[in-house]
Amino acid sequence: MLTRKQHELLTFIQTRLEATGISPSFEEMKEALDLKSKSGVHRLISALEERGFIRRLPNRARALEVIRESDAGGAKPAQRATASTTAALAPLRSPAPAREPANDVIEIPLHGRIAAGVPIEAMEGTSMLPVPAALLGSGEHYALEVSGDSMVEAGILDGDYALVRRTDTARDGEIVVALVRGEEATLKYLRRERGMVRLDPANAAYDPQFYQPHEVQVQGKLAGLLRRYH
């Protein structure tokens, strides 16, 4: 079953698609549901996507398709687009004019600085960072400001903002936020070797770091980067 807000958002998206053939913007969804920030909309969309009610159309910043509807009797499949329909869901009363997709921006928590060299403390903060929605996929995200140069060969520079998908698991070779000994966090490639956890830099000037498995906790995987030019 969906929560009330999830149901309201699904209904709003469905109604807008049927009326115009175009997904509502994050700002429109925020106002329709009386939410305080776009990050709340992002969480609701991610929940609906993970439950299989909607999907994001690839290569477009603002494109959603409803694939299951929610009603009093439970979920049911939504009508798919066919050659005889003019929208993603159902025939429209009249064809909608084509529009340019909007570049929606959402806000995600900014949790201080993270080392791309020797581990340093990851500061918890209350700041929010505006991020283009197209840079993020499903799931919960947060941002960390990169400090150091040990990941430069992976294109991660000092001062960049690492956009991180929150997770506690990762495969070998993925770039992760690793919490070391419960106190310090670092951005590195994760690998497992001979019963140890190896955190690899992407800079020949730095050596890999080795830890016991219980000393390292994965706190997220790198999902993208945001760079500001001055």
Residues marked active site are found at: 150, 188
The answer to whether residues 84 and 91 touch, using CB atoms and an 8 Å cutoff, is yes
Q: What would the two tokens of residue 146 be?
A: 């990169």
Give the pair of three-digit tokens for residue 47.
Answer: 């929940």
User: What is the C-alpha to C-alpha distance for residues 123 and 215, in angstroms, rounded to an integer?
Assistant: 19
List of residues 6+ apart from 152 with CB closer than 8 A: 116, 202, 203
90 close to 82: Cβ distance less than 8 angstroms: no
Which among 205, 171, 201 is positioned nearest to 188, based on CA atoms? 201
Q: Quick one: which H or E segment has residue 46?
A: helix 38-50
Residue 197 CA to residue 216 CA, distance in Å, equals 7
Which CA distances in Å does 134 have to 59, 63, 103, 114? 8, 10, 8, 23
